[in-house]
Amino acid sequence: MAELNASFTDAARAREAQRKLEALRAAAVRPDDGGMSLTATVDDAIVEQATRLIETHGGTAEWH
């Protein structure tokens, strides 16, 4: 499992990405208080797919 930290310029895009990550079955998707970023635990098998999803929604992804 990998931990994803994603940042967005728009809270609506962050919410949409959150919903789609949950549909991909990412675990523990948690938005921050401002709604402009989120943290999620992602299975190694979907890391690339999750990265594309974040970038498609105008975000940047950092993996830990």
pLDDT at 5 over 90: yes
DSSP helix/strand/coil, 35: coil
Digit-coded pLDDT (tens) for 11-64: 999 999 999 999 999 989 999 989 999 999 999 999 999 999 999 999 999 999
Residue-level pLDDT at 40 = 97
| Whether the model pTM is above 0.75 | yes
Segments forming the whole domain that contains residue 7: 2-63
d(CA 44, CA 7): 20
d(CA 56, CA 34): 21
Residue-level pLDDT at 13 = 96
Residue-level pLDDT at 33 = 84
- CATH code of residue 48: 3.30.70.100
Task: Give the total number of structural domains in the chain.
Answer: 1
